[in-house]
Amino acid sequence: MTEAVVATVAPAAVAEPVFVERRLGVAFWVSIGWVALVVVAAVLAGVLPLQDPLAIGDNAPRLGPSAAHLLGTDELGRDLLARVIFGSRTSLTVGFASIAFGLAVGGAMGLVAGYYGGRMDAALNGLSTVLLAFPALIFLLTVVTFLGQNLFDVTMTLGVLSVAPIARIIRANTLVYANREFVLAARALGARNRRILVREILPNVLPSALAFSLVAVAVVIVAEGALSFLGLSVRPPTPTWGGMIAEGGQVLAQDPLVALWPSVAMFATVLALNFAGDRLQVYFQVREGGL
């Protein structure tokens, strides 16, 4: 009787391994496709068949969308499609360039602090804490007051502000891998610290850094738009999404399209970057959990 029960229960007690195929999903690729489309349009804006975004009086003011003007014109007769595309140059340049600077500086700080530890970690971690504690708006106002409102200064200012959070993320991920078996094996074989950092730890830290960077670019684009709205970013007549939204806010009752189109462009781009970054973060966490 007992043997019969065991024979009956045993096959059901054996769990077969379940293999889950990891995919980024269609929505991720749609998001990346939108970001790529915006980037390509911004890069090729000068050669695309667009009207001059700064030309005043060439068209009738406040025209609705038509074949000649796909998004219409503003109160000065400027083509809104051309202004949205040329305005994307400022937002994307500030977003990607500032985060690239933050990755270069903050990434190096995080790697060194997380790998060496001790006094080096305490010093660099203290520096990042000071940067995080310093009021960002006061720093921006100071830079704009003394250096001026141009693309380079705004980009570098936001890049400096991105160093501390990126350094924290890289440091935390470096601590995870600093004492893993492959790192200990490299040390036992006599590998230098520089080689271990570059060849062993950095490739494992980069995926999470990439995921965080996409979200950070979205945050910086919104920040630049807010600065433009407050008149603290690149000066007119250079078109920016935030500047166009600010201009459209003044004539919102008469012509809401002036503020609508740059708002839609910024919203779609920020949403795509956030979704892609979040999806990459989940994807790489799953991969690390399966190691």
79 φ, ψ (degrees, to nearest 5): -70, 125
pLDDT band for 40, please (50, 70, 90 cuts).
very high
Q: For residue 64, what pLDDT band results from cuts at 50, 70 and 90?
A: confident
Q: What is the pLDDT of residue 5?
A: 43
* Cα–Cα distance measured from residue 169 to residue 205, given in angstroms and rounded to the nearest whole number: 9
Q: Which domains does the chain have, with CATH numbers?
A: 24-289 (1.10.3720.10)
Q: Mean pLDDT over residues 244-269, rounded?
A: 88
End-to-end CA distance of the chain: 44
Q: Is the pLDDT of residue 287 over 70?
A: no
Average pLDDT over residues 90-109: 92
Q: Tokens at residue 108, please?
A: 């190096």
Q: Exposed, middle or buried by CB within 10 Å (0-12, 13-18, 19+), for 283?
A: middle
Half-sphere exposure of 273 (CA within 13 A, CB side): 26
Q: What average pLDDT does the chain have?
A: 83
> What CA–CA distance (Å, rounded) separates 36 from 21?
26
For residue 26, pLDDT over 70 is answered with yes
Integer Cα distance of 25 and 127 in angstroms: 39
Closest to 84 in 3D by CA, of 103, 58, 105, 65: 65
**pTM of the model as a whole:** 0.83
Could you tell me if 122 and 76 are in contact, meaning their C-beta atoms sit under 8 angstroms apart? no
Q: How confident is the model at residue 22 (pLDDT cuts 50, 70, 90)?
A: low
Q: Is the pLDDT of residue 1 over 60?
A: no
Residue 155 to residue 99: CA distance in whole angstroms: 9
- In terms of Cβ atoms closer than 10 Å to its own Cβ (0-12, 13-18, 19+), residue 99 is buried
Ranges assigned E (strand) in 132-244: none
